[in-house]
Amino acid sequence: MPTQDQQGALQVALLGCGVVGTQVARILLQEKDSLTRRVGAQLNVLGIAVRSLDTERDAVIPRDLLTTDAHALVEQADIVVEVMGGIEPARELIDHALRHGASVVTANKALLAQHGPSLYETASHHEVDLSYEAAVAGAIPIIRPIRESLAGDNITRVLGIVNGTTNYVLDQMTRHNLDLDTAVRDAQRLGYAEADPTADVEGHDAAAKAAILASLAFHTRVALDDVACEGITHVTAQDVAWAARSGHVIKLLAICERTPAGVAARVHPALVPLSHPLASVGDAFNAVFVEAENAGPLMFYGQGAGGAPTASAVMGDLVTAARNRVLGARGAGESAAANLTLLPSGEALTRYQMRLSVLDQRGVLAQIADVFAKHEVSIETVTQAVREDKPGYAYLVVATHTSRESALAGTVEALKPLAAVDEVMSVLRIEGS
Q: Can you tell me which of 27, 28, 77, 83 binds ligand NDP, judged by CB under 6 A?
A: 83
Q: Which one of ligand NDP, ligand HSE, none is in contact with 306 (Cβ closer than 5 to 8 A by kind)?
A: ligand NDP
Question: Per rule CB under 6 A, is residue 108 in the interface with ligand HSE?
Answer: no
Q: Can you tell me which of 28, 41, 49, 284 binds ligand NDP, judged by CB under 6 A?
A: 49
Question: Per rule CB under 6 A, is residue 164 in the interface with ligand HSE?
Answer: yes
Task: Enumerate residues 198-227 that contact ligand HSE by CB under 6 A.
Answer: 200, 205
Per the annotation, the verdict on 209 as an active-site residue is: yes
To ligand NDP, the closest distance from the beta carbon of 294 in angstroms equals 30
To ligand HSE, the closest distance from the beta carbon of 305 in angstroms equals 4
80: β partners: 13, 104
Question: Per rule CB under 6 A, is residue 20 in the interface with ligand NDP?
Answer: yes
Distance CA 422, CA 387 (A): 12
Strand order of the β-sheet with 79-82 is 66-67, 43-49, 10-15, 79-82, 103-106, 130-131
Question: Per rule CB under 6 A, is residue 16 in the interface with ligand NDP?
Answer: yes
Nearer to ligand NDP, 7 or 52 (CB): 52
Q: Choosing from 32, 209, 251, 374, which is the catalytic residue?
A: 209
Neighbour tally for 333: CB within 10 Å = 15
Q: Interface with ligand NDP by CB under 6 A: which range of 13-21, 281-289, 322-330, 371-379? A: 13-21
Q: Can you tell me which of 25, 50, 161, 318 binds ligand NDP, judged by CB under 6 A?
A: 50
- Dihedral sign, CA of 61, 67, 68, 73? negative
CB 266 within 8 A of CB 229: yes
Task: Enumerate residues 296-355 that contact ligand HSE by CB under 6 A.
Answer: 304-305
Question: Per rule CB under 6 A, is residue 306 in the interface with ligand NDP?
Answer: yes
Residue ranges binding ligand NDP (CB under 6 A): 16-21, 49-52, 55, 70, 83-85, 89, 107-109, 134, 138, 305-306, 310
Residue ranges binding ligand HSE (CB under 6 A): 138, 163-165, 200, 205, 304-305
Q: Hey, which residues are catalytic here?
A: 209
